[in-house]
Amino acid sequence: MTPDLSIVIVSYNVCDLLAGCLDSIRAGGVHIASRDTGPQHGAQTEVIVVESGSPDNTADMLRESYRWVRLIEPGRNMGFAGGSNTGIDASGGRYVLVLNPDTRPLDGALPAMIDYMDAHPKVGALGPELLNPDGTIQPSRRRFPTLWTAFCEDTVFMPLAPRRVFDRYFMRDTDETQTVEVDWVQGTALLVRREVIEQVGGFDERFFMYSEEIDWQRRIKAAGWRVVHLPDAQVIHYGGKSSEQVGARRDIYYHTSKASYFTKHYGWAAGQAVRIVLLANFAIKLGIEGGKWLVGHKRPLRRQRVSAYLKVLRSGLRG
């Protein structure tokens, strides 16, 4: 039987969080058919985990305790985009949910997302409401970034941006608790219609990590589909547990992808401008941290940051 829903999870070295995610999926009102499950009701669901060569015991855990999960081991870390595409290519559901392993869909979230998509055939992609572990809202709705956004977000230049820049970007002019059409939602939990994937393709694998979901949803909207944020479906997100393990590489991935996004959609000059401003940001941070090290303020911390910023600058943010 063709499943209604394929859940694709790319996992790297987050064994315990992945187990919690899988347990919440199994308890979340969908039917996962396998020899290990009894009668259930709800959407027919398959779960695919792409294991990115984790040094922990993730693969063994899945084989021993989660035999209803389809495990794919490419033998290397393909990045979020490449790993997700591998899982998507192996899936067969009418809908594909790309889900981070550090999440826990709350009871009823998955059926609510499927029901909404079934009732709204023009919606090509959908994101649930993300919650912090304490139950507060984790903003996940966005409008497409502008050059102002790229120059200032997560940089020392952020205080220079007019308030309206980030009010627009974070959609502060709309009610977080209402179902609204958006430009894009975070790829933490992103449900996409199979027909959309067949039309526009999967993630652009030139984005190893970060900005791939913005690019994907930009292509989805350009093809005439709507993207919606659905607060009636809620997912707890523990936040960045895979990416925070890679130190300076996180900054390299994040900012390189940002420059690559602007190169792809706004042209070479825009991409170069973003890259130069972001490198200037790290040069300023390097100077600040080096100065604090010289005066003896928390020297181990300053040494760590100086090392990280030097690695970013040496990369040139070129991948």
Terminal-to-terminal C-alpha distance of the chain: 42
pLDDT at 38: 45
Rounded CA separation 241/82 (Å): 19
pLDDT at residue 131, as a whole number:
97
Output the DSSP codes for 60-100.
HHHHHH-TTSEEE--SS--HHHHHHHHHHHH---SEEEEE-
The answer to whether the CB of 124 falls within 8 A of the CB of 217 is no
What pLDDT, on the 0 to 100 scale, is given for residue 222?
Answer: 98
Alpha helices in the chain (DSSP H): 15-26, 58-65, 79-90, 109-119, 147-152, 163-169, 194-200, 212-222, 248-266, 268-294, 299-315
The candidate with the shortest Cα–Cα distance to 245, out of 9, 11, 13, is 13
> Residue 240: its pLDDT value, please?
56
Cα 29 to Cα 24, 91, 259: the distances in Å are 9, 20, 40
Residue type, position 129, single letter: E
Which neighbouring-strand residues pair with 131?
Answer: 137, 236
Which single residue is written with the structure tokens 């900054």?
251
Best CA proximity match to 310, nearest among 293, 298, 295, 297? 293
The one-letter amino acid code at 310 reads L
Residue-level pLDDT at 28: 76
Euclidean distance between CA atoms 84 and 11, whole angstroms: 10
Give dist(CA 215, CA 223) in Å, integer: 13
Q: What six digits make up the tokens of 243?
A: 């990416």
Q: What is the pTM of this model?
A: 0.92
Ranges under pLDDT 50 in the chain: 35-40, 242-246
Tokens of 41: 């009701």
Torsion of CA 73, 74, 80, 85, to 10 degrees: -100
Rounded Cα distance between 297 and 285, Å, is 15
* Domains of the chain and any CATH numbers: 5-139+176-244 (3.90.550.10), 245-315 (no CATH)
In this predicted structure, what is the pLDDT of residue 239?
78
Of 102, 98, 103, 140, the closest CA to residue 230 belongs to 140
Cα→Cα distances 232→4, 85, 112, Å: 20, 27, 7
Mode of pairing for the β-strands spanning 95-99 and 123-131: unpaired
- How high is the pLDDT of residue 48? 97
Task: Provide the 8-state DSSP code for 27.
Answer: T
DSSP H or E run through 51: strand 44-51
Q: How far apart are CA 133 and CA 120, in angstroms?
A: 30
Rounded Cα–Cα distance for residues 319 and 309 (Å): 15
With a CB cutoff of 8 Å and minimum separation 6, the contacts of 211 are 257, 258, 260, 261
